[in-house]
Homo-oligomer: A and B are copies of this chain.
Amino acid sequence: MVLQHPGEVGRAGGSAGSVTEVVARAVAEESVPVLFLSDSTGISAETMGNALLIQFPDVHFERASVPFIDSPEQALSIVAELDAALDSGVTPLVFCTAADTGVRTALLTARAPVIDLFDMHMQRVEQILGRTGEREAMRLHGVGDIKRYNARMAAVEFTIEHDDGQSLRALDKADVILLAPSRCGKTPTSMYLALQHGFFVANYPLVDEDLELDKLPRPVEEYRERCFGLTTTVERLSRVRSERRRGSRYASSEQCRWELRRAATIYDRHRIPVIDSSEKSVEEMATLILQQHVRQVRAAARDGQ
């Protein structure tokens, strides 16, 4: 990892004091301090750790991530901070995904409990595969392959260009087209699908002129089978729109109800699959769309055989 100004975008510098700071914040907020420790980005530690923490909806957590721990020495300085917290009577919750054995071993010397999300599972994978893993901090995932990198970049760019009906230039290249009235969650869901799954996504806002008709809007008419309709509840849509334009007709319950009802009629008439964004995260909506897409591709492959 080359850093032209190592003092600025450095790794080690980022962690000093992180633990102490989050512990102090947690004490002030009467919450539980949580640390995600890693020798790479820490994204796995955060994702997996948060999947566990969400099971405790009544507990308030203060989180901090310490990524790129790159030496046993740095690990030991974090251990010292963790143990100081413990000595002051606070038990931090620590998740660790260090792959490097030196770093991991150093982190596990903490007297504070450290939940190692890596090692035991690594041992099982090694056993099942019948070979040993590298056990190194992995820094290069995803960039080695220029074609794959370009494909992801192209997906993000396509999706930006085709956000909110701004461009209809290459709608025929879209993998997925999201339809919905304004503020139902089209844009973040589109970007998530592009960024995480390399999908070319277009999204098209259903405005009054579209909603007055029973037909699909002309530009998307011939791509019916790639369309997904998003909906939400009247109350939620009205609240979301009010954050933007309080007291407007746009945010009124009447207008929201009319738009959602008309959209539902259009989705139904054209057998467009519908996802209710009021009770789902962006990730959940993206996963549902992905599943459906896989199923369609599979069906098309079968038909083509």
Residues of A bordering B, CB below 8 Å? 1-5, 8-9, 11, 13-14, 21, 32, 40-44, 47-48, 50-57, 59, 67-68, 91, 93, 97, 99, 113, 115, 117-118, 120-122, 124-125, 128-129, 131, 133-136, 138-143, 146-147, 149-150, 152-153, 156-157, 160, 163, 185, 187-188, 191-192, 194-195, 228, 231, 236, 239-240, 243-244, 264, 267-268, 271-284, 287-289, 291-292, 294-295, 298
With A1-B279, A51-B97, A281-B143 given, is the CB distance from A8 to B150 under 8 Å?
no
| Residues of B close to A240: CB separation below 8 A | 146, 149-150
Additional pairs, 4, CB under 8 Å, beyond known A3-B274, A93-B128: A1-B279, A5-B271, A55-B138, A120-B120
Given contacts A4-B264, A48-B44, A231-B4, A55 and B115 within 8 Å (CB-CB): no
Kindly list chain B residues whose C-beta atoms are within 8 Å of the C-beta of A228: 9
Smallest CB separation, A129 vs chain B (Å): 7
The smallest C-beta distance from A241 to any residue of chain B, in angstroms, reads 10
> Are A295 and B13 CB-contacts (below 8 A) given A128-B113, A243-B146?
yes
Report which of B41, B271, B284 forms a contact with A287, defined as CB distance below 8 A: B41
Q: Are B273 and A8 in contact (CB under 8 A)?
A: yes
Q: Contact at A56–B139, with CB atoms within 8 Å? A: no
CB-CB nearest in chain B for A124: B115
Are the C-beta atoms of B55 and A136 separated by less than 8 Å? yes
In the bound assembly, the distance between CA atoms of A129 and B90 in angstroms comes to 11
Given A195-B192, A243-B150, also A274-B5 (CB < 8 A): yes
Q: How far is the CA of A173 from the CA of B272 in the complex (A)?
A: 38
CB-defined contacts of A120 to chain B, threshold 8 Å: 120
Chain B residues whose CB sits within 8 angstroms of the CB of A50 once the complex forms? 44, 141
